[in-house]
Chain A
Amino acid sequence: MRSRFDEQLTELNNTLIEMGALIESAIAKATKALEAHDTQLAREIIAGDDIINEKEKEIERLCLKLLLNQQPVARDLRQISTALKMITDMERIGDHAQDISELCLLLSEQEYIMNLDLIPKMAITTINMVTESIDAFVRKDLELAQSVIDRDDVVDGLYMDVKKDLIALVRSDPDNSEQAFDLMQIAKYYERIGDHAVNIAEWVIFSITGIHKDTQVL
């Protein structure tokens, strides 16, 4: 009985890793499309969001099946309920990659008003945060989950830097304002991806300790 349950929990972890790989790839590709004005790649990401949504449904079904069949308690219950919470954030991250790609299409004919080096930095940091938050879940690694949470300050700092640069550009030439607004939104999407990775890490901490954001949930 237990070995079947363990197999199903391993399947849950593997499917989460697969969904994680899909969203990490979507963010990386969206960043590449943005940098290279690559509209084909941007369209590919928009179309690929359905696969991420389908993965979310698959994990949701698996979790509900486990709740029904195994009636889990203790760490099993925390693991499954955490997975259910995580996939909501993971799905939103996929949506943000799609949002960034849509703005890529909008900006595809325009020359950028600024050097984009800060945005790829945001992308790299947030991709690592997403990867490590899911790794922390699979490996039950409390320290790694905490390090994801701590890294949110880096993303927020980069976001403020982008904002500052864009304000300066708009001040120097009001004609920059339309694109500045789009780039600001893009930076905001990366910042939100960081927030979702933090949410995931907070639930990972719950799955290990039973405590979510300093509150004993049960």
Chain B
Amino acid sequence: MNCFEIKGLNLYYDKFHALKNIDLELESGKITAFIGPSGCGKSTLLKTLNRMNDLVEGCRITGDVRLFGEDIYDDTDVNLLRRRVGMVFQKPNPFPMSIFDNVAYGPRTHGIKSRFELGEIVESSLRAAAIWDEVKDRLKKPALSLSGGQQQRLCIARALAVSPEVLLMDEPTSALDPISTGKIEELLLTLREKYSIIIVTHNMQQATRISDSTAFFLLGEVIEYDSTETVFAMPRDQRTEDYITGRFG
């Protein structure tokens, strides 16, 4: 089953043609990696999947993007879409409030008021994000007092707290040390069982370690999309080979 089906997608920032005729089917319950040089369109596509590009002035989109069969650009409630499709960014961005309130923020905006219910959601989200044991005794402490790696796992917990179906991650470990990176990667592998994950990464080894499928982007096009093993062991397109082996350019 596919979480996203993208057909004939084109995206323009004013006159700049940023995504060209993208056709992709992203499998649910899997980790899909988007790779490619800076400016190739991978983050743009990621942001298209929960309509973050709607906020960009001059952005125009044509084509079809379906989340579990539903057209996300056709009368969709964007708030509901963003609950179903959560996002974690490159730089950890906890809100300037307590650890508890960071995780409870989403459920509260969706109308959950019961302290007991919120407490349960916060605990299960922090557990799912593999950070519960580290923060359970200081939930009232400011989130900004956590280390970078902990902050990023808190942001993942915050995304999980609204029970999304898909998690979009834009270089989620690029600002983290190898230990924190390892923890996040382990976490993603456990989350894969429940969520579909789409990750943009510049780290080739990370893509090979954690993703099931990989799409290689170049100049706004998907050049190659296949199982990660195939892309990194026997890429079909010379441009993919040149990029992943560092011969590009």
Question: Contact residues of A with B, CB < 8 Å?
Answer: 1-2, 5, 71-78, 210, 216-218
Asked if residues A74 and B241 are in contact (CB atoms below 8 Å), the reply is: yes
Q: If A2-B246, A2-B247, A5-B246 touch, does A73 touch B232 (CB 8 Å cutoff)?
A: yes
Cβ proximity bits B33-62 to A, threshold 8 Å, 1 near / 0 not: 000000000000000000000000000000
16 of the cross-chain contacts (CB-CB < 8 Å) are: A2-B247, A73-B208, A73-B233, A74-B233, A74-B234, A74-B235, A74-B241, A74-B245, A75-B241, A77-B232, A77-B233, A210-B234, A216-B234, A217-B233, A218-B230, A218-B234
Shortest beta-carbon distance from A207 to chain B in Å: 11
- Docked-complex contact A218 and B208, CB < 8 angstroms: no
Q: Hey, which chain A residues are within 8 Å of B24, CB to CB?
A: none
Q: How far is the CA of A216 from the CA of B236 in the complex (A)?
A: 14
Residues of B within 8 A of A5 (CB): 246
- Chain B 217-249, CB-CB to A under 8 Å as 1, else 0, gives 000000000000110111100000100111100
Q: Taking the nearest CB of chain A, how far is it from the CB of B228, in angstroms?
A: 10
Docked Cα-Cα span, A218 to B235, in Å, equals 11
Task: Say whether A71 contacts B233, CB under 8 Å.
Answer: no
B208: nearest residue on chain A (CB-CB)?
A73
Establish whether residues A73 and B234, one from each chain, have CB atoms under 8 Å apart when the complex forms.
Answer: no
Report Cα–Cα, A74/B246, bound state, in Å: 11
Chain A residue with Cβ nearest B234:
A210
User: Cβ of B246 and Cβ of A1 under 8 Å apart?
Assistant: yes
User: Given A1-B246, A5-B246, do A74 and B232 touch, yes or no (CB 8 Å)?
Assistant: yes
Specify which of B233, B246, B247 is in contact with A218 (CB 8 Å cutoff). B233
Quick check: B229 and A218 within 8 Å, CB to CB?
yes
Complex Cα–Cα for A71 and B235 (A): 16
Q: In the docked arrangement, what's the CA distance between A216 and B208, Å?
A: 18
Cβ of B204 under 8 Å from chain A? yes
B205 within 8 Å of A (CB atoms): yes
Cβ–Cβ < 8 Å partners of A76 in chain B: 245
Known: A2-B245, A77-B233. 17 other contacts (CB 8 A): A2-B246, A2-B247, A5-B246, A71-B204, A71-B205, A73-B204, A73-B208, A73-B232, A73-B233, A73-B245, A74-B233, A74-B241, A75-B245, A77-B232, A210-B233, A218-B230, A218-B233
* A5 and B245 alpha carbons, distance in the complex (Å): 10
B244–A73 touching, CB < 8 Å: yes
- The residue in chain B whose Cβ has the minimal distance to the Cβ of A209 is B234
Name the residue among A73, A217, A218 with the largest chain B CB count within 10 angstroms.
A73
| CA A64 to CA B246, docked complex, whole Å | 19
Least distance between A81 CB and chain B CB atoms (Å): 10
In the A-B complex, the 8 residue pairs with the closest CB atoms: A218-B233, A210-B234, A73-B232, A2-B246, A73-B244, A74-B241, A218-B229, A76-B245
A76–B246 alpha-carbon span in the complex (Å): 10
Looking across the interface, which residue of chain A has its beta carbon closest to that of B244?
A73
Q: List the A side residues contacting B234 at CB < 8 Å.
A: 74, 210, 216, 218
The CA-CA distance from A72 to B233 in the complex, in Å, is 10
B248 to chain A, nearest CB (A): 9
